[in-house]
Amino acid sequence: MIDEMLPEFHFPGGLLYPPNLCLILLLVAVVLALLHRKKLAILFSMSGVLWVVMWSLPVTSLWLGGALESRYPFRLPESLPQADAIVVLGGNVQNNRANWFEPYNRATSVNRIDRTAALYFAKKAPVILVSGGALEGPVSDAQGMAKVLKQMGIPDRALLLEHESRNTYENAALTHETLQKNGIRHVLLVTSALHMPRAMAAFDKQNIKATAAGLSAQIYPPTDRALNIWLPDTRSLEASRSILKEYVGLFVYWLRGWV
């Protein structure tokens, strides 16, 4: 049962975010230098600088982020199978940019709500289950998403809410309970392309028959400017937090038996 779950996983994003980790390692290097451990001081300082440089290079984001996004390629609604329900997970990635290396453009933005509505109106499933708790404030992600979906013309009777989950593991576990109660066997799973591998693994662990129906990839060379993948780029550094979160999340979920 949910009450018996292991403690919630908190990703140490602030620690591993390259500029922060670099600063920590440089401070350690200063202490080591004061203790006359010069070789270790040099090692720590170089490691910090290299960590920042590596994640500021577009090639790193394109390679490591792209490896996750390519696991479940984007599919048009007509190419997806019929299902009993559409499950959409709460959360946003990089402000819904169509491309992480381009400025935000509302006209080309991609988000989970629009994708979910498109699948519903394409008659891919008669029910939508929105999943996501309230990380801050009294309104859960599920409640917020349901409100927007109703404004888009989706009837209240077609919506199921799971608004207690705080992470991907609980998304899957609590969704499983709701699906069982409603006799739902097969779902289309909606989340970002970057998050999809961890989400699908968590849902599979709960024995939920899910088909990936996520957003299109967001990590690819921009069309608005030339990009040298071997030169530092601030947007690549910004993307590092989300990419690192997924790799660390997959590792921790594997250690805990959640995937």
- Of 149, 136, 251, 233, nearest to 190 by C-alpha is 149
Asked whether the CA dihedral 61, 64, 68, 71 is positive or negative, the reply is: positive
CB 127 within 8 A of CB 84: yes
pLDDT tens-digit series, residues 18-30: 999 999 999 999 9
Q: Is the model's pTM score more than 0.75? A: yes
- Of 133, 243, 141, 238, nearest to 195 by C-alpha is 243
Q: Which two tokens stand for residue 94?
A: 């990089």
Q: Which domains, and CATH codes, for the chain? A: 12-66+228-250 (no CATH), 74-218 (3.40.50.620)
Residue 154's alpha-carbon distances to 26, 109, 127, in angstroms, are 53, 21, 10
Regions of the chain where pLDDT drops below 70: 1-14, 92-95
pLDDT tens-digit series, residues 107-166: 888 899 999 999 999 999 999 999 999 877 788 999 999 999 999 999 999 999 999 999
CB 124 within 8 A of CB 80: yes
